Structures are given as structure tokens and as C-alpha cells.
Amino acid sequence: MTGQTLTPSSCGALRIEQLVKQYRPGQPVLKSISFAVQGTGLTSIIGPSGTGKSTLIRCINRLVDPTSGKIMLQADGQAVDMAQLKGADLRRARRRIGMVFQEYNLVERLTVMENVLTGRLGYLSAWRAWRRKFDEADIQQAFELLQVVGLATFASQRADALSGGQRQRVGIARALMQQPALLLADEPTSSLDPKTSVEIIQLLHEQGVRRGIPVMVNIHDVELARRYSSRIIGMTGGHVVFDGAPGELTDEHLNTIYGGRAWLN
């Protein structure tokens, strides 16, 4: 990357330091968030609506610009501060962060295969990206990923013909096409039925382990987070109030995170 010196880092795939985001002056949504994500495994972020979970995920990949703090991403043995990047440097760094969206963000008129291949657009020249001219190796990889997510027979179908769970699988395959160093998912199960939700979180967990990358998921289902996460981060009021293994998450912690006790019964 130009414009910023990259230095070797041994601090893990992601390190966040004193991250602050405020949409209005004096009203921060994220209040000096700090933590590190190292190695593989699924990290679930839990907390009530409006506490900053989605803002945190979107700050990490710069869909939202942070107000202050550092977002140190490690990829290919080097670390860069995502919070400071601009222009071409930012675009190059972002292609190493896969993103799975709550509302899928597919191009409805394109086929499943074409949607998966868009995960490689960040690696193409502007001319080839405009023409959607992909290498044969990219096409082969897309077919393999469709097999991984269980949609090999749907490659030629339009995205708007799929169910919600199938669309989310396409979104996961598209994110994996980026060959990410970090995979993020913003409430990927919020529109899905319980069975499909389990399948999607299990798929994210398995792919993180298989590819040796960390996965961070913003999720409302606490029991699902406990089942598949190696780590849970609990947020409330823009602060991290719990950070530990699923087995360490007690009812008292949940009371602190969500407030009240009636929902625990």
C-alpha cells in the first residue's frame, strides 16, 4: 500500500484501541472500545439493540468512519491502521475483510455465480471489473465455494429466486471469495428461522476454522452464541462489559448486558 508504512505485527488479526464513534458531537455510540482478536475461532458480539454492535462491525471495515482510535488489521504478516486509510489504500485493505450482511446485499438480477464472483472485484483492474472479466481460477474457486455452502446446483439461478437462508449462503460464499484475513457478519441470522440460523452460524464457524481466520458475528441469539463461539463480547451503552469464554457468561453478566431479569426465565 502507498501512503502508509506497514510494519510486521504479532498482535493477532485485529486489535482495536480506544475506538470512539459519534454521529453527533458529544453523543458517542462507541465509547473507547479496546480488544484484540487473535487466531481462529468465532467471536460473538451480543447486547441490546442500539448499543453499538453494528456500528462496531461497520467501523472495522470502514463502512462507517470512526471518530477516533485505532483499528489495526493484520494480513499477510503486516499490520495497518484501518482508521487512517483513505482512497486506494483503503480499498486494498478492505478486500481482506469479508463482510456478511443482515439484508444479504446481493444484486438481485444477477445469478448466484455472478454474485459470488463479485467478491473478486477488488482484485481486478477498473476495466476488467467493469466488464466482469474474471480469471478461470476465480470461476473455479466460485464453483468450489458454492459446493461448500451447499448451493452448487443453484449457480445459474437469479438471486431473487432464492430463500433467505440461501441468499445468506451466497453472501458467505461472496465474502470468502475475497480470501479474507478477517470475516465479519452483521446480524446474519436476524431474518432467518431457528433451524437455518443454526446452519448459518455453524457454516461461519466451520469456515473460520478451515481457513484459519477469525470470524466476528454480531448476534442477538445468546444461546446460539454460546453454542458456537470460542469467545463472547457483551456490549451495553457503547461499552464492553463482558469479554470471555461462553462458559464464563453467567445470568448476572446477562443482566448487566441487557438489564432486567424477566427475560432470563
Write the pLDDT tens digit of every residue in 172-196.
999 999 999 999 999 999 989 999 9
Cell of 152: 452448487
CA–CA distance, 158 with 154 (Å, rounded to integer)? 8
How confident is residue 264, by pLDDT bands cut at 50, 70 and 90? low
Q: What is the mean pLDDT of residues 254-258?
A: 95
More confident residue, 261 or 42: 42
CA–CA distance, 140 with 101 (Å, rounded to integer)? 24
Map out the domains of the chain as residue ranges: 7-96+182-193+214-257, 103-179
Label each residue of the chain as H, E or C.
Answer: CCCCCCEECCCCCEEEEEEEEEEECCEEEEEEEEEEECCCEEEEEECCCCCCHHHHHHHHCCCCCCCEEEEEEEECCEEEEHHHCCHHHHHHHHCCEEEECCCCCCCCCCEHHHHHHHHHHHHCCHHHHHHCCCCHHHHHHHHHHHHHCCCHHHCCCEHHHCCHHHHHHHHHHHHHHCCCCEEEEECCCCCCCHHHHHHHHHHHHHHHHHHCCEEEEECCCHHHHHHHCCEEEEEECCEEEEEECHHHCCHHHHHHHHCCCHHHC
Model-wide pTM > 0.85? yes
How confident is residue 128, by pLDDT bands cut at 50, 70 and 90? low
Q: What is the mean pLDDT of residues 77-87?
A: 91
- Per CATH, the homologous superfamily of domain 7-96+182-193+214-257 is P-loop containing nucleotide triphosphate hydrolases (3.40.50.300)
pLDDT for res 132: 67
Strands across the sheet containing 182-186: 97-100, 182-186, 214-218, 41-46, 231-236, 239-244
More confident residue, 123 or 101: 101
Place of cell 457483551: 234
For 12, 87, 180, 237, the CA distances from 212, given in Å and listed in that order, are 12, 29, 10, 32
Residue 11 has pLDDT above 90, yes or no: no
Residue 260 has pLDDT above 90, yes or no: no
pLDDT for res 3: 36
Q: What is the mean pLDDT of residues 23-32?
A: 94
How confident is residue 123, by pLDDT bands cut at 50, 70 and 90? low
pLDDT for res 39: 80
Residue 130 has pLDDT above 60, yes or no: no
CA–CA distance, 225 with 14 (Å, rounded to integer)? 20
pLDDT for res 9: 34
Return all residues near 59 (Cβ < 8 A) that are at least 6 apart.
Answer: 19, 21, 30, 65, 66, 71, 83
Please name every residue paired with 81 in a beta bridge, in sequence order, or none if there are none: 72
Place of cell 478486500: 95
Averaged pLDDT of the chain? 89
Percent of the residues in the chain that have a pLDDT greater than 70, as a whole number: 89
pLDDT for res 21: 97
Q: Which amino acid is residue 38, in one-letter code?
A: Q
